[in-house]
């Protein structure tokens, strides 16, 4: 039960951080491309790879890996935004966003893991 509460507590902080970055992005970045969601998901992928490589205790992984980064990253928003661009036939945003999100996420999780194992 403590692990569930730990993950939930971490998720609160991850969601707050995501909310702040999203709102900042809406005010300061182009509305034509979902930069905030891309930044959130790519940094989250990198950090998750790094955290996973460090072989922390299950408690720390539940707090940071599952909790904070689970609340921070947003796979559902990514896919809703992709679907919206597809539906609107906005392929000039859909294609790079999909490639950067999925491809970049995979690359960054491996990079985070590799850097974590070198430290």
* 70 carries a ligand binding annotation: yes
Q: For 87, which DSSP code?
A: H
Cβ 62 vs Cβ 10: under 8 Å: yes
* 112 carries a ligand binding annotation: no
Detail the residues annotated as belonging to a binding site for Na(+): 70, 73
Detail the residues annotated as belonging to a binding site: 70, 73
């Amino acid at each position: 039960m403590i692990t569930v509460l730990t993950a939930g507590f971490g998720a609160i902080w991850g969601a707050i951080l995501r909310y702040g970055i999203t709102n900042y992005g809406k005010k300061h970045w182009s509305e034509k491309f979902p930069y905030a969601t891309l930044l959130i998901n790519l940094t989250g992928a990198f950090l998750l790879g790094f955290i996973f490589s460090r072989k922390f205790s299950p408690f720390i992984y539940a707090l940071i890996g599952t909790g904070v980064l689970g609340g921070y990253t947003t796979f559902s928003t990514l896919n809703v935004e992709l679907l919206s661009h597809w539906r609107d036939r906005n392929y000039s945003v859909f294609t790079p966003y999909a490639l950067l999100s999925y491809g970049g996420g995979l690359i960054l999780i491996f990079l985070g893991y590799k850097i974590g194992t070198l430290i």
